[in-house]
Amino acid sequence: MNNVKTSVLKFGGTSVKNLGRIQHVAEIIRDRLRIGSEDQQKILVVVSAMGDTTDYLLKLGVQCSRSPDKRELDSLLSTGEQISITLLALTLKEMGISARSFTAPQIGIFTEKVHSKARIVDINSDNLNRALVDHDVLVVAGFQGVTADGDITTLGRGGSDTTACALAAAINADVCDIYTDVDGIYTADPNVISEAKLLKRVSYGEVIEMARLGAQVLHPRAVELARQYKVRLRVRNTFKPEHEGTIIDQGANEGEKVEIYRSISGVAVDKDQACVTIMNVPDKPGIAGTIMQALADNNIVIDMIMQAFHPTAGHNNITFTVHSTDLAQTITVLEAIKGDFSATAVIADEDIAKVSLIGAGLAGQSGIAATVFKAFGAAGINIKMIATSEMKLTCVVSGKDADKASKIMHSSFSDD
């Protein structure tokens, strides 16, 4: 593989929604093969299922079983990517390009034995390198993996981003291009806030926060992988292939002045959240750990946590947020254990959204929280929960106030 430049390109479901778009993607790949003609080119392409295929397959599974077995559901959902990789490979071959499709088991993307939310543990680099010797383009199924004993797994929503970054790390690619239906990463959702600005460059840390807090950018696990292996990412528009998009890397080199050193980089909104409270928990050491461990044992990820202490009663109310898809299971787990420590009730609030301000310089900026809280108060927006960190300020508000709150937050700092 000496003197061979290998690029990794990932195309999401909107990019391969139909045969016309698959043809367009194939043309982008063909044009990329021509770049740098003095050096031999190889391209590794990761694709998602076509359009809403995954949602359709999930609906079929639920129609067959009200509570589908996760192993069988993973086997079903993985077929969506197999269709798209095969159609793209056929299209490339018709153009005279040496291409071959691979599922995760065929290429050797191994995961832990956890269905629907598996993490990649190893990639067979020998398989990759042999295939790249024989073909100019490898088309690999995203979103899926295989366990050591041969069971198919899926990586969770957005898992194709993770697949692309993992493969880029495995072949030491300098850049991994993530093609989607927007020009890059904006300071807010441009569909909601027309004043949102395109960021030309942003740091791994900020994008991870944006993704975790609801911005529909990249899967946070993918960016974490990229940061760990120093893979430079670039978010680009499939339908404007000449557009440079947004570069995601470690940040500015010494002496550089780039956008990531502004105090605020963006606003993110997550409406797919629910709030859960377990009432009247005894104020004793170890109780909170027992509750959190029960949720962790069921692969339920919790985010914001608030504990309200009642000194006269010697009890606490423990409140936290979970993704809305985990709400039913969270309630089931808590109901099963609440009697162990005489908690009185489990209460859920589905009418919430998280609105977050994100920026690398957030922690060092005095007055930001006061500005946000005063602006929300003036607009009649009630804040249910608050969380802060070095890079974020998150407010939980009523779902109906989410867009209004995000616009206020963005307008308060858009000129920073």
Residue 266, classed as helix, strand or coil, is: strand
Buried b or exposed e, range 375-400, using 16+ CB within 10 angstroms: ebeeeebebbbebeeebbbbbbbbee
Overall pTM > 0.95: no
Q: Which pLDDT value is given to residue 263?
A: 66
Radius of gyration (Cα) for the chain, nearest Å? 23
Residue type, 292: M
Q: What proportion of the chain, given as a percentage, has pLDDT over 90?
A: 71
Angle, CA of 164, 250 and 44, to the nearest 5°: 20
**Residues, the chain:** 416
Q: Which pLDDT value is given to residue 35?
A: 56
Cα four-point dihedral sign 239, 241, 246, 251? positive
Q: Which pLDDT value is given to residue 362?
A: 75
CB proximity list for 216: less than 8 A, separation 6 or greater: 189
CB proximity list for 217: less than 8 A, separation 6 or greater: 185, 207, 210, 211, 235
Helices and strands (DSSP H and E) totals, the chain: 13, 20
Tens digit of each residue's pLDDT (9 = 90 or more) over 294-314: 999 998 999 899 887 665 568
Using CA atoms, how far apart are residues 52 and 13, in angstroms rounded to an integer? 7
Which residue from 194, 305, 202 is spatially nearest to 210, judged by alpha carbons?
A: 202
Q: Which pLDDT value is given to residue 368?
A: 87
Residue 296, classed as helix, strand or coil, is: helix
Residue type, 277: T
Ranges of residues in the chain whose predicted pLDDT is under 50: 1-2, 253-255, 257-260
Q: Which pLDDT value is given to residue 217?
A: 77
Tens digit of each residue's pLDDT (9 = 90 or more) over 229-277: 999 999 999 999 999 999 999 865 444 544 445 567 889 999 999 999 9
Residue type, 261: Y
Using CA atoms, how far apart are residues 272 and 322, in angstroms rounded to an integer? 9
Using CA atoms, how far apart are residues 269 and 403, in angstroms rounded to an integer? 8
Angle, CA of 132, 136 and 141, to the nearest 5°: 70
Angle, CA of 230, 152 and 77, to the nearest 5°: 95
Using CA atoms, how far apart are residues 370 and 394, in angstroms rounded to an integer? 13
Using CA atoms, how far apart are residues 260 and 245, in angstroms rounded to an integer? 15
Which residue bears the tokens 């600005």? 197
Using CA atoms, how far apart are residues 378 and 373, in angstroms rounded to an integer? 9
Residue 41, classed as helix, strand or coil, is: strand
> Which residues is 232 bridged to in the sheet?
175
Where do the domains of the chain lie, and which CATH numbers do they carry?
4-260 (3.40.1160.10), 267-413 (3.30.2130.10)
Q: Which pLDDT value is given to residue 255?
A: 45
